[in-house]
Chain A
């Protein structure tokens, strides 16, 4: 399979006053054309940092300290990303209203991207921006193009964000919690729109969310992150039916489903470890883990349990029969 995105051993550290935060440690996953992969994990597990590292948008304190990220044949960690961002990889964010320029009409913001990447000229960029608004299902696009973000609802703003992101037909879309903060019906509409755009253009999607239920519904594959590690990666059905990493199992137990009752919910005990310490244990889940063995303090390696099913655990759960 030719991968659209291949991330290997990606490590990121932030230099802060309190010390070096090893936010990502040997993160790896890959993504085929047209595929939707979900990156799930609790808050602070490193989902956004992964996305920013791929996009080259880490803030000044953050550095990629190792690993590789390949977009097709392009080495993202070495390439001039200014020609790749927005053109081959695009990103949409949580809180769409704040993610749009408050004093620029939304049509103009789309036109800016079209002029930069989409080969639009100064003269037809406006008309093409209106087309882009129509394509993301905004009614009366010619009028809405002149609106400012504060005049549009959150859902409308997220549609505009999507129009900006897909303006140049990127190969990969990274959606960082695209529906957080929207009401439930709008969430579904926005996700449907993202998937429709992906289907139309063959674009691969990374869906970043802490909502395992959303991931289960929308993604073909799921990578579970915990404290800067990808602890398990598998196709959605396998991961949900046969979680092998204790953390994944806990996460599933903590996720409300239509079938289960809220009483059955168990939260994941413990918190994320302090990533500033030099002696961060090899398995960053060990302190919270009920299956911990003495050998867990040794080196941690990622094991392939089946084709396409990796887990980073010394003592994984048994496969269900």
Chain B
């Protein structure tokens, strides 16, 4: 418990750094908010007026200070393009992104870990070669390409999946919100029809993310399993006649998972990035597509809010990985 608190406090300087850098970056990037906001026909006077009313004529340190004070009050500013508070929009859109990323990650784990384990146990077999092909293909295909390819094949050619237009098709209505995850909320409400619709929508984008995440997870699982299977305690387990499944799953896999979990953290943070593209391709109403639109419009506040959200997610993610590692590895528990 104390360790968790320490970690969170330790993350504050990092978060401050992130806030500072995004603030500076958004100011340095080309594009002028006031001009964009005033529209193409605005006179120089009205642009100047808007600039004053937004506080953009103040020196940078002062702007930054104001931003910090607002942050301290939990205020992430207003989006100039949508006219909504950034916080509200992020909170509304975050579940969509989180559901998509988690689905992608779970799908990837569900395929890659068994694949890696089988590849290691049956070294040189067909499944080992399959694992290698997946690992190579996964790294060489960019996400937007796999995304478009999946849409082309499964929507356009085969017609198996619905149009890639968001979380639900036009005929279904969103479930009552508990978690914000449609797959969970529909089940909560016992509405299997909508669950099916939501699942049909999410499968392609989640699959795209999964394809992207598959390669590193499968590769590290295979390598780590091979290393553990060759170690002395596995020889002991075999010599004491423990059954094959016990040796592979209880003894080898649990040990092999330690590096896998660490890599999962990295993969997850890559996924947060890949998400932005996938949301764009599938018109997914998440925080990624929100940030992109804001960025194109030189709308600072949403971009800053987005980056900050990502940074917080990243800190929480590392914390979660730490906790999982502690749960698996007694040395990590007693050591700290």
Contact = CB atoms under 8 A, between A and B. Distances in A.
Interface of A: 55, 57, 81-87, 90-91, 93, 95, 98-105, 112-113, 116-117, 148, 150-151, 161, 164-165, 167-168
A90 B239 contact: yes
B232 A83 contact: no
Closest 9 CB pairs of A and B: A86-B241, A85-B241, A86-B240, A91-B239, A98-B232, A148-B330, A99-B236, A101-B233, A113-B240
A81 B241 CA distance: 8
A123 B242 CA distance: 18
B174 interface: no
Contacts of B334: 148, 151
A169 B243 CA distance: 18
B246 interface: yes
A56 B254 CA distance: 25
A84 B244 CA distance: 14
Given A98-B231, A103-B255, A103-B330, A164 B241 contact: no
Nearest to B257: A103
A165 B240 contact: yes
Nearest to B246: A112
Nearest to B235: A57
Contacts of A93: 232, 235-236, 239
Contacts of A161: 236
B329 A83 contact: no
Residue among A91, A101, A164 facing the most chain B CB atoms (10 A cut-off): A101
A167 B237 CA distance: 13
B196 interface: no
B331 A148 contact: yes
B230 to A, nearest CB: 9
A83 B241 CA distance: 7
A150 B335 CA distance: 11
A41 B243 CA distance: 33
29 contacts: A81-B241, A85-B241, A87-B241, A91-B236, A91-B240, A93-B235, A93-B239, A98-B231, A98-B233, A99-B235, A99-B236, A101-B251, A102-B233, A103-B331, A104-B250, A104-B251, A105-B330, A112-B242, A112-B246, A113-B241, A117-B241, A148-B330, A148-B334, A150-B330, A150-B331, A161-B236, A164-B236, A164-B240, A165-B240
B233 A116 contact: no
Contacts of A100: 233, 236
A83 B240 CA distance: 10
A90 B240 contact: yes
A293 B176 CA distance: 96
Contacts, number: 81
A103 B254 contact: yes
B58 interface: no
Contacts of A81: 241
Contact of B243 (A105, A116, A164): A116
A112 to B, nearest CB: 6
Contacts of A83: 241
A103 B236 contact: no
Contacts of B236: 91, 93, 99-101, 161, 164
A99 B233 contact: yes
B241 A84 contact: yes
Nearest to B328: A103
Residue among B239, B242, B328 facing the most chain A CB atoms (10 A cut-off): B239
A33 to B, nearest CB: 21
Given A103-B254, A103-B330, A82 B243 contact: yes
Given A57-B239, A112-B242, A102 B331 contact: yes
Contacts of A112: 240, 242, 246, 250
Given A102-B233, A112-B250, A86 B239 contact: yes
A5 to B, nearest CB: 16
B238 interface: yes
Interface in B201-243: 231-233, 235-243
Nearest to A83: B241
Contacts of A165: 240
Interface in B116-157: none
Contact of A85 (B240, B246, B328): B240
Contacts of B330: 103, 105, 148, 150
Interface in B245-298: 246, 250-251, 254-255
A82 B238 CA distance: 8
A55 B235 CA distance: 11
